[in-house]
Amino acid sequence: MIENLIESIAEQSEEDLDYSNLLDELNILLTDPINLNSANESDLNKLFILNKNQIANFIKYRESTGQIFSLYELQLIPGFSSETIRTIAPFVSLKQMAQDTLSRRKKAKHILLLKSERTIEEEKGYTTENTNSRYLGNPWKYYSRYQYTSPEKNVSFGFTSEKDKGEPFFEAKNKNGFDFYSAYIQYNSKGILKQVNLGDYQIKFGQGLSIWSGLGGGKSSLTTHNAYKSQGIKSYKSTDENQFHRGISLLLEPLKNVNFALFTSYKKKDGTLQSDSIKPFISSIVNTGFHRNYSEFEKKHKLEEMIFGTYLSANLKKIELGISFLQSKYTPEIKGTDAAYNFYGLKGSDNRNISLYYETQFRSIHLYGEIAQSKSGGKALLQGANIQAHPQLNFELIYRKYDPDYHALFSNAFAEQSKTQNEEGFYMGVEFHPYPKWTLKAYYDQFEFPWLRYSANSPSEGHEYFSQLEFTPNNSVSVYFRYKQESKPENDSSGVIKSLVDQKKNQYRLHLSAKLNENWEIRNRIEISQYQKENIIENGYLLYQDLIYHFTNKPISLNIRYALFDTDSFNSRIYAYENDILYAYSVPACYLKGNRFYINFNWELNRHLKLYARYSQTKYSNQTSIGSGNSEINGDTKSEIKLLLKFRF
């Protein structure tokens, strides 16, 4: 599930996204599974693999039959295939916890994570003669995180600190040690004042048109699971230096199932500062979070962001409604670039967003939607329907329309692009289980862009098609074949006056995973990519073998991959999700010709201490250098090492 979701999002996005919150939530479920015999709708929403129809069908089944004794029993519920059951199995349980286990859960918990990683080969940024570009720090990345949770006292707090590779550490332009610090305190209560957050927090509201900090969703193999589930306010524990709020939030429940929130935030963001004849302004917001050289330090914390907001939600018997308001102020003002594609971009010193969302269940149809407007007058609309047409047949339809002049810096809605802006489209997804061991998934998305884009000098339209057929003969073996095709117009390669030409991508994948016994697991994949633009036709392939071994009498596990790849260029690249150390992720783009290898080593030394280690290496054929700019490495090999210690007490 995680592999498919993150791979799909990485393929779609042009940005380096942060998946650590997603991994964090799933790791919590692994250590504290949801009891299906006592879980309510809110609990089941944490299993984002389940859509609203599946959750409604599950609760209805449990109310009519009573206690569930086996996961196989879930196959009797409409919408629950063997694949779905196998996916949620690690995150759920059917037994009531023993009294001693409940007592341990109520005790205060301390978790401390210490992580370090580096690229072994030296990058150009450490040796360049350009003083503005030369990295000021060492090649190690340092990360630490502490969290305290006390269920009895209903309080949790923690902090996170990080120094990226190349950033100075207690030296040069950074005398404070780590480049990024984050801290939070959260108090929960059963009274009217339901929750208080101090420090850093995230808000996920509605369908993400106005407020959805952090990772949202996107087109993936979860073809009928695209409806967002409002999560409200949560403490922030990640290292993305932009997609969070810093301040205070209050969540009240004045009436049963009615939530009212107030929040305010102030923080500084990176930006390119310029001046005209009147006053300074920000020409672009920088979201990389890197501060490795003087050039990057010149953009650090140049933009002040002040936010005030509120939302009200009511969960009635047959419908859930919510309204939100967000006021943001920026100093200095934002002007953006003069490029034609940025004509409708956010400009000025402030912005406002108001949105209204709803969701309701009518028999086997889950309807959901949100409408929003920004200060500019631009509007955003999303309307979706999930239809359980048959116990083994599920459809999802989504229409979205985001005006070119709609602005919401904290939005993250369902879209083809990374921004909720300048897009209109219609999506149809289907999941069909024709036989007990077979699953067919597919989607078709037709989209258009009413205004120019960075890579398109006129309005354009495109489409994307995906299909996957999976066969699961038993709980230990799964094999699937996937085909994906996308066509999106881009500028041609001519001179000054550019016209649009279709850029087409085709991908074919065959994947096998099998658990041979209690010790061994294997995964095999072959993937082929095709790329076409004008007279350029490129091809590529990726082939890998995974071996996973769990020791029987020792708390040790090993994970090894060896991969071969050969593509004509970056255009025909292939993404492949890799197992990593705890709370980390790796989705490298494989391109050109070479091989890649990694090994993960996990060792639980005792009940309080775990060690995670990883070594990876990519070796290219017929290459004398890797990468470009400051990231360039002389030679044909790039290696990386990661170490993490987890203390639990």
pTM of the model: 0.91
**Residue 402, token pair as written in the block:** 């985001």
* pLDDT greater than 90 at residue 79: no
Per DSSP, 84 falls in state H
Q: Calculate what percentage of the chain has a pLDDT beyond 90.
A: 72
Coil, helix or strand for 609? strand
What are the pLDDT digits (tens) for 437-487? 899 999 999 999 999 999 999 999 999 999 999 999 988 999 999 999 999
Give the integer Cα–Cα distance in Å for 148 and 111: 7
Strands 34-35 and 92-93: parallel
Is the C-alpha dihedral spanning 268, 272, 273, 277 positive or negative?
negative
Strands 109-119 and 637-648: antiparallel
Nearest-10 crossing angle of helices 20-31, 2-12: 170
H/E element holding 185? strand 180-188
What's the pLDDT score for residue 78? 87
What are the pLDDT digits (tens) for 255-268? 999 999 999 999 99
Query: Can you tell me the mean pLDDT for 428-432?
Result: 97
Between residues 89 and 539, the one the model is more confident about? 539
Give the integer Cα–Cα distance in Å for 30 and 279: 53
Coil, helix or strand for 170? coil
What are the pLDDT digits (tens) for 299-328? 999 999 999 999 999 999 889 999 999 999
Give the integer Cα–Cα distance in Å for 350 and 126: 39
What are the pLDDT digits (tens) for 588-606? 999 999 999 999 999 999 9
What's the pLDDT score for residue 372? 98
Q: How far from chain centre, in Å, is Cα 569?
A: 26
Q: Calculate what percentage of the chain has a pLDDT beyond 70.
A: 95
* pLDDT greater than 80 at residue 619: yes
DSSP 448-465: EESS-BTTBSS-EEEEEE
* pLDDT greater than 80 at residue 65: yes
**Residue 360, token pair as written in the block:** 């309701």
What's the pLDDT score for residue 493? 82
28 pLDDT band, cuts 50/70/90, is confident
What are the pLDDT digits (tens) for 114-151? 999 999 999 999 999 999 999 999 999 999 999 999 98
Q: Which residue has the tokens 């015999």?
A: 37
What's the pLDDT score for residue 449? 97
Those residues with Cβ within 8 angstroms of residue 104's Cβ, 6 or more apart along the chain or in another chain: none
What's the pLDDT score for residue 266? 98
Give the integer Cα–Cα distance in Å for 642 and 120: 11
What are the pLDDT digits (tens) for 528-578? 999 999 889 999 999 999 999 999 989 999 999 999 999 999 999 999 989
Domain extents for the chain?
Answer: 108-186, 516-649
* pLDDT greater than 70 at residue 31: yes
Those residues with Cβ within 8 angstroms of residue 644's Cβ, 6 or more apart along the chain or in another chain: 113, 114, 115, 116, 581, 582, 583, 584, 611, 612, 613
Give the integer Cα–Cα distance in Å for 261 and 59: 29
**Residue 616, token pair as written in the block:** 């990876």
Rounded mean pLDDT of the chain? 91
Highest mean pLDDT: which range of 167-171, 219-223, 575-579: 167-171
What are the pLDDT digits (tens) for 169-218? 999 899 999 999 999 999 999 899 999 999 999 999 999 999 998 777 78
CA neighbor of 22 nearest in space, from 546, 477, 587: 587
